[in-house]
Structure 1
Amino acid sequence: MLRRILALGAGALLAGALTAAPTQAATVTIRTALNSTVDIVYGPVSGAGYCMTHIDPQTIVALYRTTGYVCLRNSGTATPANPLSACAYHEPARVVVGAFRHPTEALICRYVA
């Protein structure tokens, strides 16, 4: 009986502690460093959206090969494309700083943060 009373009392104290409202909320401000950048990787399938819209509607994937950024059609033919334009297509509200090749032949777009 005593054990039940102690368990109920401890439970009530714990419940009261968990439901207590904080006295003051903390505001978090995120600041980016001056001239900071962010890299976003776009895979071959997501890159095909740019190619389908701007290069050829029969594009199935877009690859960034060692020879450059290309759009591959159903027939297997490759059409060269501009990687900077592809980056601008994916994130039109951001400023494109550069475009690079990922080891998996994906497109890495660097934007101003």
Structure 2
Amino acid sequence: MMRGPVADLNKLIAVGGIVAGLFFLMIGAVLADLGNANVVNETQEAQAQRENMRDVYGPLVAHIGAFFFVAGLFFAAFFWDAGDAFVRLFLLILGVVTLLLVLASSPTLFG
């Protein structure tokens, strides 16, 4: 039986969600690390912006990345019909473990 174009679209959405999640996690880690940098002769405004980058923007982007990563794993597990049942089960278990790791972490991913 021929598969329609929706099967390729489901695979593209799942892979795109996983890749976007990993990318946003990377950007969030970079922002949090840049917020921890020590700068000599820094103004008060620049210091406040650096602390905001460490405490607000980095974790915000990382949480968005974690959402996309977990959503991509669950989407792949539920809607990827071409995959073997054990592959889909593995993706589902990986998504649950990732979700538990995100929920079990501190209020922010880098705190």
TM-score by length of 2: 0.24
- Larger radius of gyration, structure 1 or 2? 1
Instruction: Pick the structure with more helix per residue.
Output: 2
TM-score w.r.t. structure 1 length? 0.24
Structure with greater strand share of residues: 1
